[in-house]
A = this chain, B = another copy of it.
Amino acid sequence: MQTLKVIKIGGNIIDDEDALNSFLEDFAQLKSPKILIHGGGKLATKLAQEMNVEVVMNEGRRITDAKTLDIITMVYAGKVNKTIVAKLQANNCNSVGFSGADGNSIVSEKRPIQEVDYGFVGDVKKVNTPIIQVLLDNGITPVFSAITHDENGQLLNTNGDTIASELAIAFAKAYRTELYYCFEKNGVLKDINDDDSVIENINTETYQTLLKDGTISDGMLPKLKNCFYALEHQVQKICIGKPAMLFNENITHTTIQK
């Protein structure tokens, strides 16, 4: 069975042009079929400021009104996605940019209003693999921005980590699938202020302990939830750490396993 690498890159790589160029140069060299998922980094917030659109956050999550959705679509699916695709082409990695609307690849539903109205935020309902599969079969690397749609013409803002895990799960039948979350830290840390305190392995049992003792908190909570969700759905290998872990197995990082 062929291996498919599903790789999510975080905002810090996108915000730093040199880091992005260097990452894409290495990424282009990865031999196996691969899918890249990206968000928009600080660019969306910067554009909102330039347009005098207020950024409203609730517990670290962006409230997406119509104007904010426009900004996110422009930055994520426009500027960032096309910049990445053009740079990959320059590195001889033939790629096609995707939102979930393209090829009807990721269908989501608008999050129901409960305590908070998150606006145009979508929770993934279904991944349709055929068109992505056709591209992978033709040696193309799909590059996904964190935008989905509801099949009724509405674009929706969707968490990039979730898109990565849902794509990995959707392809777990056709490939031996590996899921990589690349961000600015070396992995899941025991002490958030000490980048050397990486927890190298987390399994279902130790996960519960780390949750209980509060080691896993804030932004790491949804990321690890996505990891264990993928693990339960036949994704074979799940890693969290700096992008360097993709190109050198000896680089310290966190591996999630059963």
Binding site for B on A (CB under 8 A): 47, 50-52, 70, 73-79, 81-83, 85-87, 89-90, 94-99, 101-104, 130-131, 134-135, 138, 140, 147, 149, 151-155
- The A interface is mostly helix, strand or loop, or mixed, namely helix
In contact, A103 and B99 (Cβ under 8 angstroms): no
- B-side contacts of A154, CB under 8 Å: 86
A90 interface neighbour in B73, B75, B82, B151, Cβ under 8 Å = B151
**A50-B130 Cα distance, complex, nearest whole Å:** 40
In contact, B83 and A78 (Cβ under 8 angstroms): no
Q: A51-B51, A73-B78 are in contact. Are A153 and B103 (CB under 8 A)?
A: no
In contact, A81 and B90 (Cβ under 8 angstroms): no
User: A100 to chain B: closest CB distance in Å?
Assistant: 9
A86-B154, A87-B153, A89-B153 known; 17 new pairs, CB 8 Å cut-off, are A70-B79, A73-B78, A77-B82, A82-B147, A85-B99, A85-B101, A85-B102, A86-B149, A89-B104, A89-B149, A94-B104, A95-B102, A96-B98, A96-B103, A97-B99, A130-B138, A134-B134
User: A137 to chain B: closest CB distance in Å?
Assistant: 9
A79 interface neighbour in B74, B104, B135, Cβ under 8 Å = B74
User: A213 to chain B: closest CB distance in Å?
Assistant: 43
**A247-B50 Cα distance, complex, nearest whole Å:** 42
- B-side contacts of A79, CB under 8 Å: 70, 73-74, 78
